[in-house]
A and B are shown apart, each in its own frame.
Chain A
């Protein structure tokens, strides 16, 4: 895991000063923006590997940092979130940077690329949400009992990567804080996709001009792999890779394969 010394946090005033967008930064090399999933941001081995050759910038959805939980109140809807993210990235000099997004963050990366075609570099999305088919409804991760989440996220919830993701600190206070932070982050991101994660992205995806890689876990129980093709056919020239034996979080469950695909595509 990254130590405090490795990571720095920028606080970028956006939205006419109403929001301090927190952006975690780590690594060396050309910039890469990582947009986090619904449960909030964490440095994981996949990002640490990327940070050996790229400077990874991870903007936190306002409110998802325990340092500033009320920031969510200043972001009214998905449209405002997209504008605030773009403002922050522009302020950090990251126009032209590649975007990588996982799940909720994958949707957000698509929204940024569709709203501002040509403004960012390449696009990689890992099992993004944002589309809806009645014959393959996206599972409801907010209604689910906590004990059902591992099976919703991983093809093999007993794998070491999956286990690591759900291991909580032993200390009671630290454990309480970790659960509170994750729960609140899920509440904050839900504001932009609840109750059905479809805000019309299917009508905007065609605007994306960036070279795009769509990676999907074949056994994704949260957002079925049928959506890989849905993204693929709407984004001109997109490459679609579906990984066997993999659920909703390929960067954890199939870390090596995912890393190789992302590195190959971005290099």
Chain B
């Protein structure tokens, strides 16, 4: 279950006036009670998901963002780690994660992940996002052209710090340490599963395959449309490299909602999902996604030269629930409808890890809880373990919990 912490009390017409990241004015739009309530409800929903039988709980990181007020996902992950352990819940702790492209303290991430792995008794999946441009570059002040190089260097340092038997000095281009001697270390041997979120550029996927890690497509557009052209390419690359075509190598986010009937699901969740898309990705200025220098020159040139219709991506600010449903950005309906659609898209795209997003925007807590309960009772048992039943081993799952995924 994939969860963010969108500030839950934004005004109705938010998208007409503000950006959901960097520039939205705090004093005008938010207050302490709203902040606290958002965190409380987010954590309650994640814990409800873990107690309800989801295979994993997912948290993400965004600084200076109204659509996710989680500047460090290790904080909610720490709460979850302890809950999973004390209640003996069989859910993975998936942190997708601390950004090595934006941090100036890469060893802190190595330490936090190691501590979370220990606190959760080996339930951690360690996610390594490059970091969004507005967050890494504008919020953190990292020159955009350095973002990827910092990510790679930080990742190499982290792996070495986790694995090294001896203390070492690190002379990096972006960080230097006199004496790296990490306490704590991860409890999973040799390390927690490594998941790499990204937008699906070939160079990133190539690198993920070279690491034999899992690739996570973080998309707002759902498994089918978000994955079109990306997963095909991933599997082609996988085959070309002589690696096993195993659906558990990929994960993708899908917004879902479940009610008793299709009609009721639309009536109850539709308006909130529509607002969630409009207030979140729909009102983000393009230059915040891609600061100059963030996207390599040739990639930028290719994107600008493309004449492909951007489709719904260009219309999110005014998008309607019907469009979201028709395009597959959301899968909403009765348990039977959601089951059938989810299974179909996961089969079609060969997705082994479905990250179901069951709350968005200002959706009320009670409604999110209802959707989580209905999904876990009436959808989850049907899609859970669908690829394992077909004989695919899950090699990208923490050793502290039994593998099942999908979901």
Contacts and interface: CB of A to CB of B under 8 A. Distances in A.
B293 A195 contact: no
A191 interface: yes
B307 A187 contact: no
A173 interface: yes
Q: How many residues of A sit at the interface, in one of the four size bands? A: 20 to 34
A172 B292 contact: no
B300 A180 contact: yes
Q: How many residues of B sit at the interface, in one of the four size bands? A: 20 to 34
Nearest to A143: B138
Contacts of B292: 142, 183-187, 190
Interface in B77-110: none
Contacts of A179: 304
- Counting chain B CB atoms within 10 Å of each CB, the highest count among A172, A176, A186 belongs to A176
Interface stretch (A20-28, A47-55, A68-76, A87-95): A68-76
B24 to A, nearest CB: 14
Given A194-B141, A194-B144, A184 B285 contact: no
A144 interface: yes
Contacts, number: 75
B293 A186 contact: yes
B297 A66 contact: yes
Contacts of B307: 172
Contact of B305 (A63, A70, A177, A186): A177
Interface string B182-222: 00000000000000000000000000000000000000000
B304 A69 contact: no
Contact of B138 (A176, A188, A195): A195
A146 interface: yes
B287 interface: yes
Given A76-B173, A145-B285, A146-B287, A191 B145 contact: yes
B298 interface: yes
B173 A194 contact: no
Contacts of A195: 137-138, 141
Contacts of A183: 292-293, 300
Interface of B: 22, 137-138, 141-146, 149, 173, 285, 287-288, 291-294, 296-298, 300-301, 304-305, 307
Given A172-B307, A176-B305, 12 more contacts: A143-B22, A146-B287, A173-B305, A175-B304, A177-B301, A179-B304, A180-B297, A185-B292, A188-B293, A190-B292, A190-B293, A191-B145
20 contacts: A70-B297, A142-B144, A143-B22, A143-B138, A145-B287, A175-B304, A176-B301, A176-B305, A179-B304, A183-B292, A183-B293, A184-B293, A185-B292, A187-B291, A187-B294, A188-B293, A190-B292, A190-B293, A191-B143, A195-B141
